[in-house]
A and B are shown apart, each in its own frame.
Chain A
Amino acid sequence: MNSLRGPKEILIASGKGGVGKTTVAASLSVFLAKKGHKIVAVDADVDAPNLSITLGGGKQKSSQKIRISRKAILDSEKCVKCGKCVEICQYGAIFQFKDETPTIMQILCEGCGACTLVCSVNAIKLKEKLTGELTVEETEYGFPLVTGKLELGEHNSGHLVTSAKKIGHIEAKNVDANLVVIDGAPGIGCPVIASISGANYVVAVTEPTPAAKRDLERLISVINHFNIPAGILINKAELSETYRRELERWIREELELPILGEIPLDYEVLNALTHMVPIIEFNPSSKAAKALLEICEKISELV
């Protein structure tokens, strides 16, 4: 998906949750669109997809079910209760009570198929299952938004993110967009790796607390592994004055990454959120919006 031609992907990521990814992604998308860029936004936090809410909710254009998960199904008529499937399952998804017919717990099944291979009477088959849903909305800011929503408890969130990005690129082609803004998931696992892979630039959001710093460190080691350029945004900058200075020093000297800017703590951010309007639109003269606008300007120059 890495786009030498096609549109460029900007990913908003963070490691730690709740530091402000979605707030930044919403404002950045609106900023770029207002500047005359043709863009597509993608919400790749398929566990907790919140970008649509932050953008005021859009008009749904299309939606599709993604079925890339597989689950093992046991035919109890054929089963000889030998227990081989229980033994082979590495994920503890098959449970057998004494010598009864085993039970496959769908929610724990990774769909690897090892049990189907070990079953001597062919009593287990793999069945396709719903992974999640992808919707395309038209936002009131004139750009499309692709949202991935994972089926509760499902595996394969990474595959769903990849599908969401694919749809994002198709939308980009349709509207002739040169930028895709991706709101990532917290963490560093499967869905985050799927959003990092193919990105042209990562905006890593953090805050001056030890937990956010530690999670940023872990995120950056993944980003570096993929060799993708990144810049840091410090949100809620006054949470701790002393820790903030230590964080700035650490980012510059040890991570050796640029700080794109800092956003002050501002009640207006929360206010904008409850009104479901991006902060740069809700109150452009608030101190958070001003700082964010400068950062958006910087990012748009970078990409």
Chain B
Amino acid sequence: MKMAEISKFFHEKPVSTPIVAITGGKGGTGKTSVAVNLAVALKMKRKNVMLIDVDVDGPNDALLFGMKLKDGENVEFFKPIINVEECVKCGKCAEACLENALVYVKEQIPIFFEELCSGCEACLLACSINAINRGYKILGKVYVSEVDGIKLLTGELKPTEARSPLVVMKTKEKAYETAKKEIFDIILVDTAPGVHNPVVRALQGANLVLAVTEPTPLGAHDLSRILNLVNRLRSSANVVLNRANIKGGFKDVIYNICQKFNVNIVSEIPFDEKLLKAYVGGIPVVNRFPDSPSSKSFFKLADFIIKELGVSE
């Protein structure tokens, strides 16, 4: 099947609301600051915004609003529970388990290693006598909250669990469910750093991708990787250059990369003490210091998004 057709399936989503994903490759380039301030700036421009935080390893959007998350809903996934009375010790379940979460020693009941289980249900299918019951393990939590008139959905991986992509998937399912009940103009998605599967899952369904980077050799290197990934997913990328004016910066290299990938730098956010101050204080800078240099960049970026997605009245 042609890549273009596959990418259509890949980006298929149950809501028609346009989605902007904020990503970047390297960690600490300012993804969360961009996501949160963009959400607030859009709200100030009278847009209904849903913000989905799917950096499930370290979800900090709520923290940047100075808000504590509470009453999360568990993210549950299948795990097998072997009925020891019924089990005939054939070992078929262990054979089917490619993650090696079920280990079979001859003529014994298979041993289950929960941390390796991916919840795929292959064991359930392999057991011909139905000696495996459905159990559930908790991979993390999803929080639905409201802050400054913005709907915030947060996915959180349970520490010691490894399967971040599945928490991303479940968080987005919950978000779509919520977005079907209320009307939003724009959905923003804050992704994890990197180019691995949790990021792929976060980028799914995005109409527009903002890759946030910084003018350093590391920012440049990781920007190339994320732009390659975005290309592969057939999404359209734009670059946000954070701390654009730091002296001795690697701005030229970033420009060259953008040229090579044929993407635009749609925003340059200057280094701003006020942004840092607001960040530490848990108030979005566009609220606390709306006249600061970084706030002005965020308002401009919000205008760009509105225009690009065609969501003006």
B164 proximal to A (CB < 8 A)? yes
Contact B280 A243 (CB under 8 A): yes
A226 nearest CB neighbor, chain B only? B160
Contact B9 A110 (CB under 8 A): no
Contact A190 B121 (CB under 8 A): no
Contact B58 A16 (CB under 8 A): yes
Also in contact, A209 and B280, with CB within 8 A (given A103-B9, A152-B229, A225-B159): yes
Also in contact, A50 and B126, with CB within 8 A (given A92-B169, A95-B9, A113-B120): no
Contact B121 A88 (CB under 8 A): yes
Contact B225 A110 (CB under 8 A): no
Also in contact, A110 and B280, with CB within 8 A (given A18-B29, A188-B58, A221-B159): no
Taking the closest CB of chain A, its distance from the CB of B257, in whole angstroms, is 14
Partner of B225, one of A48, A114, A243: A48
Contact A47 B195 (CB under 8 A): yes
In the complex, chain A residues whose CB is within 8 Å of the CB of B149: none
A213 nearest CB neighbor, chain B only? B63
Contact A186 B193 (CB under 8 A): yes
B18 proximal to A (CB < 8 A)? no
Partner of A190, one of B25, B60, B162, B282: B162
A258 proximal to B (CB < 8 A)? no
Taking the closest CB of chain A, its distance from the CB of B171, in whole angstroms, is 13
C-alpha gap A155/B96 in the complex (Å): 19
B78 proximal to A (CB < 8 A)? yes
Contact B201 A108 (CB under 8 A): yes
Also in contact, A19 and B201, with CB within 8 A (given A107-B233, A112-B122): no
Taking the closest CB of chain A, its distance from the CB of B235, in whole angstroms, is 12
How many residues of chain A have a CB within 8 Å of chain B? 67
A192 nearest CB neighbor, chain B only? B57
Also in contact, A114 and B221, with CB within 8 A (given A19-B28, A150-B195, A210-B280): no
Tell me the residues in window 51-72 of chain B with beta carbons closer than 8 Å to chain A beta carbons: 55-58, 60, 63-64
In the complex, chain B residues whose CB is within 8 Å of the CB of A155: 165, 196-197
B5 nearest CB neighbor, chain A only? A103
A110 nearest CB neighbor, chain B only? B118
In the complex, chain A residues whose CB is within 8 Å of the CB of B217: 50, 53, 273-274, 276
Stretch at the interface among B129-137, B181-189, B243-251: B243-251
Contact B196 A215 (CB under 8 A): no
Question: 1/0 per residue B203-223: CB within 8 Å of A?
Answer: 000000000000011100110
Contact A188 B57 (CB under 8 A): yes
Contact A48 B222 (CB under 8 A): yes
Contact A118 B200 (CB under 8 A): no
Contact B57 A112 (CB under 8 A): no
Contact A193 B162 (CB under 8 A): yes
A284 proximal to B (CB < 8 A)? no
B26 nearest CB neighbor, chain A only? A48
In the complex, chain A residues whose CB is within 8 Å of the CB of B218: 22, 48, 50, 53-54, 273
In the complex, chain B residues whose CB is within 8 Å of the CB of A112: 98-99, 118, 120, 122
Taking the closest CB of chain B, its distance from the CB of A27, in whole angstroms, is 15
Contact B126 A17 (CB under 8 A): no
Contact A158 B60 (CB under 8 A): no
Contact B120 A110 (CB under 8 A): yes
In the complex, chain A residues whose CB is within 8 Å of the CB of B299: none
Taking the closest CB of chain A, its distance from the CB of B213, in whole angstroms, is 11
Contact B64 A153 (CB under 8 A): no
Taking the closest CB of chain B, its distance from the CB of A154, in whole angstroms, is 6
B228 proximal to A (CB < 8 A)? yes
Also in contact, A239 and B280, with CB within 8 A (given A107-B233, A114-B125): yes
Taking the closest CB of chain A, its distance from the CB of B114, in whole angstroms, is 13
C-alpha gap A46/B195 in the complex (Å): 9
C-alpha gap A191/B159 in the complex (Å): 13
C-alpha gap A107/B196 in the complex (Å): 10
C-alpha gap A189/B64 in the complex (Å): 22
Known: A103-B6, A112-B118. 12 other contacts (CB 8 A): A17-B29, A90-B120, A105-B10, A108-B201, A111-B98, A114-B125, A117-B122, A153-B233, A189-B57, A209-B279, A270-B216, A273-B218
10 nearest A-B residue pairs (beta carbon): A18-B28, A17-B27, A47-B194, A187-B57, A112-B120, A189-B164, A211-B60, A190-B162, A215-B58, A186-B27
